[in-house]
Amino acid sequence: QVQLQESGPGLVKPSQTLSLTCTVSGGSISSGGHYWSWVRQVPGKGLEWIGVFYYSENTSYNPSLKSRVTMFVDRSRNQFSLRLTSVTAADTAVYFCARVTVIPKDYYYYMDVWGKGTTVTVS
Amino acid sequence: ESVLTQSPGTLSLSPGERATLSCRASEYFSSSYLAWYQQKPGQAPRLLIYGASNRATGIPDRFSGSGSGPDFTLTISRLEPEDFAVYYCHQYGSSPYTFGQGTKLEIK
């Protein structure tokens, strides 16, 4: 079955850029019926949606992060990535990548496969 | 932005009891865009319910979802020890695709 694995540095300095990659295994990132998303969780807090990557290289980002976020895909490596610029301590969190399954005829959209998460500390 | 407000913040129950968790949206969206997730400490969220009332693959039938905008409910009919966790509702109807703040289900 499809599995996701986040990777990237666990420590980033303030004002620098956070870069994370999610590797998809057991399936193709280009397969129909799915989008690819990032979610984060500040320690002890709730979940925050960061953004989503659609089929046609389009993206949608959380407006609270939009000016600092970029998501892109490397189909040859079956990976998608997150880049967050000008980080501060408030960006310290566990970052999850997730697959969004889409069933357009029923208007269903849900995150059914998640990575285990990677902790990023800004300090 | 559709804000999802979950209640209660913490629910203390015993195994075997029934749990009812609520999620209220500040803006209308179709129930097809509402999902529920379970999260245990140190783990990723796990999809329970999508489209407000459809159980995800492998989810026991003691979990059920109901409701339509703006009020949604997750019910666990008979709590098992492994059900004590944090539960989040999530909407995919309008960007940003927000989560509720979570309900912590703890053992009484």
- Nearest Cα of chain A lies from the Cα of B29 at a distance, in angstroms, of 11
CB-CB under 8 Å, A63 with B96? yes
**Nearest residue in chain A measured CA to CA from B9:** A46
CB pairs under 8 A between A and B: 67
Chain B residues with CB under 8 Å of A46 CB are: 88, 99-102
Give B31-69 pLDDT, tens digit per residue.
999 999 999 999 999 999 999 999 999 999 999 999 998
Give B87-105 pLDDT, tens digit per residue.
999 999 888 999 999 999 9
B50 interfaces chain A, CB cutoff of 8 Å = yes
Give A22-77 pLDDT, tens digit per residue.
999 999 998 888 999 999 999 999 999 999 988 767 899 999 998 999 999 999 99
Residue A15 makes CB contacts below 8 A (sequence gap 6+) with A86, A87, A88
Using CB atoms, pick whichever of B32, B39, B43 lies closest to residue A108. B32
